[in-house]
Chain A
């Protein structure tokens, strides 16, 4: 028996396209999303739910920022790096963002090599992605340490509105946790690819369904999502 959850088993290909295709799919039996495997559907729905979490975090941040009586700390000063004798506003964060975006690039490569069943390159690309992710988290730790050493605390800070520290640590921390969890999963996945689990279709632990190279793509969905969320956090914290 082959794996049922795989995308390989296809529905008939001569379905109508566009809107009428959508209606057709949803009024059909068996599957509403034709050719979408269970796990991919699950990841998309999870990401939708997670989107709500991050949106609500950011909305709360905006509310706090707009209703506070004390001025909000100036982003280009608070987040600047002092190197030599000059201040580089947003330098660190620019590097962090660059690193994270690059990791999305390597993730795409991993997915691509995965579908070509190139075990070694897939594993390497996953490792590189994990490494870039870990670098991001490392730089975030550095940033946190720097802010803490400058007196930023969850309950207050010398630069302005006391909510700044709490909101900043909470939201970047929540995002950093997402990245860290992603890094762990990337490492596990790299190991599995390297061992050839996806060629042998060894069942995954969480899903108890047969492993496939599609899992790399689903990991990629999560990773790109975390990346996209960062873009919003970046815009709202560092550019506003």
Chain B
């Protein structure tokens, strides 16, 4: 019973641009290392992001070691604990998720999905990766400097971030962190400009904006958000570097530290919070929007159904992106602000829930009566929907000032944002890797290992983060390495904490399975053919798998339809690829 969206144009407008001249690599170095091919750059980005993500994974295990079994491990002091927490959070949010979604998936998928040969500016694209790489090196270097990395928390709030009481505050830790962020932003901007121009100006004939796969819409909108949100972080890092190195007082009030009156005075820590969250909230959607887009495509493909409400989905992505710029102060309800501001930001925050909920309904309606194949990508997509819904609901709680005030800075918030921006996007990343790996490697990932990987990760994540809501509700604060004997904390908290830690180790170890699968399948995986999932989008229609230099054959594909013609009655293969000119009866159903 497929509803057919037949907007196919039999005659396409003529080409507005002539063929692109590609840069041709001549030797190993320009082909694989300083490559200007978006596909290679994508793999480089993904490789570095995953590698540094593994560091963050190890750090999370160390955090859980301390929380689950306090006072058992001498090498975890309160200082190192703060360093672990900070680096874990920052790496996961910025260096893993942002880089992987935009630099990794963006680079690989945008040109292929819109029918282009490469990004608009391959050289700048290459620079983008190398500057990102440099940012990662600077970040990792901070583990090895005297005093270690910063322990200021991923929010880096001043004044504590640059005081001697905070690990790395008076050493090199915080300086390297800020430098690394600034480099990341510069590198990202180079890539981001490329992604935006490529989507806007390089689509193939017949590929209108309203025929773009939702993956492209998600990545495109997220990139626009990033280009407008990262400036706030850049300014904040520059100003904090000034405070730390030149003793300006942009963010620093008058302070007494260990009996010494510091030379600072007159600055505003709240200003930093505004700058940080003006970046920080859009950042959560920079991570979420690509996930929304990708999951829409995965669901549609693996349920053999057209996406429900394509236009609505597009406008929801754009609307969420726009709204995400006017909700930032919901992270600052306890910082002290005029009650009317609280009212304003609570209202905008809850309004965002409308387009978000709309997307969830549309995913469910896409699945409704679909021919659901429980492949690994589909499992991960289903896992995403449930997890995201879960995190979104707790977000509604936190969005209300009066509910948030007691919950702020508790483990409840930690549970919320891990559900919504930790576990959920990671599940999409896994699903997407299982989905697109065959295109990148020409071989399938092992399905059985994938299913085990999914169940351990998904159930494990729930075992970790579900009890954490309860721990937060009874009032356990976040960012405490140990709880001591506080009277308000019941014994069950300690038991639960050990339980959570065991679940966390299990999930951590399960990722080895994934890595093993990733490497083993490079050689031993089943050959996938060009289009193993029988998907409609252009990347699956390339002449070669993996696609060669220039992506498509001598002719660029022509696009005749939207990307969701699945279960088409009368079609020979149950789907019609975007470049399939076949005409189908208008409004027909079977």
Binding site for B on A (CB under 8 A): 1-5, 9-12, 26-34, 36, 38-39, 41-42, 45-46, 48-50, 52-53, 56-57, 60, 63-64, 67-70, 154-155, 161-163, 165-167, 170, 174, 205-210
Contact = CB atoms under 8 A, between A and B. Distances in A.
Contact of A42 (B120, B205, B263): B120
Contacts of B16: 9-11, 30-31, 34
B20 A163 contact: no
B265 interface: yes
A156 to B, nearest CB: 8
A166 B13 contact: no
Interface of B: 12-13, 15-21, 23, 36, 120-124, 189, 192-194, 196-197, 200-211, 227-228, 230-232, 234-235, 238-239, 242, 246-250, 263, 265-268, 271, 275, 278, 559
B120 A49 contact: no
Given A41-B201, A207-B121, A208-B122, A49 B250 contact: no
A155 B246 contact: yes
Given A1-B19, A166-B249, A29 B204 contact: yes
Contacts of A70: 266
Nearest to A46: B193
A12 B14 CA distance: 9
Contacts of B197: 38, 41-42, 45
Nearest to A31: B201
A162 B265 contact: yes
B228 to A, nearest CB: 5
A205 B209 CA distance: 31
A182 B364 CA distance: 52
A55 to B, nearest CB: 8
Contacts of A9: 16-18
Nearest to A10: B16
A140 B210 CA distance: 50
A161 to B, nearest CB: 7
Nearest to B202: A38
Given A29-B203, A48-B227, A4 B18 contact: yes
Contacts of A41: 197, 200-201
B235 A64 contact: no
A69 B266 contact: yes
A36 B19 CA distance: 16
A39 B124 CA distance: 11
A29 B121 contact: no
A45 B227 contact: yes
27 contacts: A3-B21, A4-B18, A4-B20, A27-B209, A29-B206, A30-B15, A30-B202, A30-B205, A30-B207, A36-B201, A41-B201, A42-B194, A49-B193, A53-B231, A56-B232, A60-B235, A63-B271, A67-B266, A154-B248, A162-B248, A163-B250, A167-B248, A170-B238, A206-B124, A207-B121, A207-B124, A208-B122
Query: 7 smallest A-B Cβ distances: which pairs?
Result: A166-B248, A52-B231, A154-B246, A155-B247, A53-B231, A49-B227, A32-B200
A79 B380 CA distance: 62
B273 to A, nearest CB: 12
A31 B121 CA distance: 16
A38 to B, nearest CB: 4
Given A154-B247, A208-B123, A38 B232 contact: no
Contacts of A166: 242, 246, 248-250
A163 B246 CA distance: 12
B268 A29 contact: no
A41 B195 CA distance: 12
Given A2-B18, A9-B18, A209-B121, A29 B267 contact: no
Given A29-B206, A31-B16, A166-B249, 16 more contacts: A10-B16, A30-B13, A30-B17, A30-B207, A31-B201, A36-B201, A38-B120, A41-B200, A42-B197, A49-B189, A56-B232, A60-B235, A69-B266, A162-B249, A163-B248, A174-B238
Contact of B228 (A48, A63, A64): A48
Contacts of A2: 18
Contacts of B122: 208
Contact of B201 (A38, A50, A56): A38
Given A27-B208, A49-B227, A67-B268, A33 B234 contact: no
A215 B18 CA distance: 19
Contacts of B12: 29
B242 A170 contact: yes
Contacts of A39: 121
A42 B190 CA distance: 10
A16 B28 CA distance: 50
A28 B15 CA distance: 12
Given A49-B228, A209-B121, A64 B268 contact: yes
Contacts of A10: 16
A56 B279 CA distance: 11
A60 B121 contact: no
A30 B209 CA distance: 9
Nearest to B36: A208
B231 A26 contact: no
Contacts of B203: 29-31
Given A163-B266, A170-B239, A1 B18 contact: yes
A52 B193 CA distance: 15
Nearest to B206: A29
Contact of A26 (B15, B23, B201, B209): B209
B265 A29 contact: no
Most B C-beta atoms less than 10 A away, residue of A45, A163, A206: A45
B249 A155 contact: yes
B268 A63 contact: yes
A4 B123 contact: no
A36 B474 CA distance: 58
A52 B248 contact: no
Contacts of B228: 48-49, 52
Contacts of B207: 29-30
B101 to A, nearest CB: 19
Most A C-beta atoms less than 10 A away, residue of B192, B246, B278: B246
A167 B21 contact: no
Nearest to B117: A4
Contacts of A46: 189, 193
A5 B189 contact: no
B239 to A, nearest CB: 7
A91 B204 CA distance: 56
B85 to A, nearest CB: 28
Nearest to B232: A56
B208 A29 contact: yes
Contacts of B196: 45
Contacts of A170: 238-239, 242, 248
B20 A207 contact: no
